Amino acid sequence: MHTVLQQVINGLSLGSIYALLALGYTMVYGIIKLINFAHGDIYMLGAFWGYYVINTYHVDFIVALLSAMIVTALAGMIIEYLAYRPLRNSPRITALITAIGVSYFLENGMSYLFGANTRNFPQVVKQHNFTALGISISNIQVLILVTALILMILLQLIIQKTKMGTAMRAVAVDQEAAALVGINPDHVISFTFGLGSALAGAAGVLIGLYYNSIDPLMGMTPGIKAFVAAVVGGIGSVPGAAVGGFLIGLLETGVQAIGLSAYKDAAVYVVLILILIVLPAGLLGKNVKEKV
């Protein structure tokens, strides 16, 4: 029982990172039906920005986190403006290929500019482990989980309680009808990219603190797993993305706990296939019939 509870704690910590990433995927898809495969590399940019400001300016965790969110939000909006907006009326496959191209551009650009070597993320928060009833939990795990939950609650408040959130929901339902009532779809889409990218930047700083290492290719695998989490939860559903992220984190740590760590990635994709077969819309997604 102690082992199970320990893995649940580890899984929730990791799952909160996937949840933050998955929220970016699901919001962008909900607005413009685009799978932004460069999203994992925005997460990488957030980690590198946190590394830079902590080492250069010796700031604390909160400053590093907030500044990373601002920088990655701007990066996300710039990418949307330069790479995706010109293709707004193009076939979806064109935008999808462009997203993959942007991903490779960011990865190889960072490798060229800063080198491909792994760097140790500065431990701006000193780790302390607490043990109770045979279960060990660190202050960093608590910090990651609490920060992720706060950000997810704030996101939900923005979507449900603000004018921009109302505009986001309107554009997601019908972009043309939203434009007719005075909503600027371009502004809403740009804001959505910025919001999702800010969450990815926060996740990058948190994962750097958790694993103590970053590199230019660190966004590839977590980005794909977060996409799986979004699909499992129901792509387009904000609560579904959060649930999917936690489930993927629990699954991954569970597979590692039983001694099959070499197959942890395969287990995630097997779950994706099963979900698509049994529940094509995901756990909290809605089946929507397209009009002919």
pLDDT of residue 119: 94
CB 202 within 8 A of CB 147: yes
Q: Is residue 289 part of a domain?
A: no
Q: Is residue 190 part of a domain?
A: yes
CB 230 within 8 A of CB 28: no
Q: Is residue 52 part of a domain?
A: yes
Distance in Å from the first CA to the final CA of the chain:
53
Between the CA of residue 111 and those of 48, 74, 216, 254, what are the distances in Å? 12, 21, 6, 33
Mean predicted lDDT score pLDDT of the chain:
92
| 135 pLDDT more than 90 | no
> What's the mean pLDDT in 270-291?
79
Residue 1's pLDDT band, with cuts at 50, 70 and 90, is low
Give the tens place of pLDDT for each residue, 5-33. Answer: 888 999 999 999 999 999 999 999 999 98
Give the tens place of pLDDT for each residue, 96-122. Answer: 999 999 999 999 999 999 998 999 999
Q: Is residue 253 part of a domain?
A: yes
| Domain count along the chain | 1
Task: Say which range, 93-102, 143-152, 193-202, 252-261, has the weakest mean pLDDT.
Answer: 252-261
pLDDT of residue 275: 87
- Domain span at residue 272 reads 2-278
> What's the mean pLDDT in 78-82?
96
* CATH classification at residue 160: 1.10.3470
Task: Say which range, 94-98, 120-124, 244-248, 276-280, has the weakest mean pLDDT.
Answer: 276-280
Q: Is residue 60 part of a domain?
A: yes
Q: Is residue 71 part of a domain?
A: yes
Residue (of 235, 181, 291, 281) closest to 28 by Cα position:
235
Q: Is residue 28 part of a domain?
A: yes
Q: Is residue 284 part of a domain?
A: no
Residue 170 dihedral angles phi and psi, to the nearest 5°: -70, -45
pLDDT of residue 292: 44
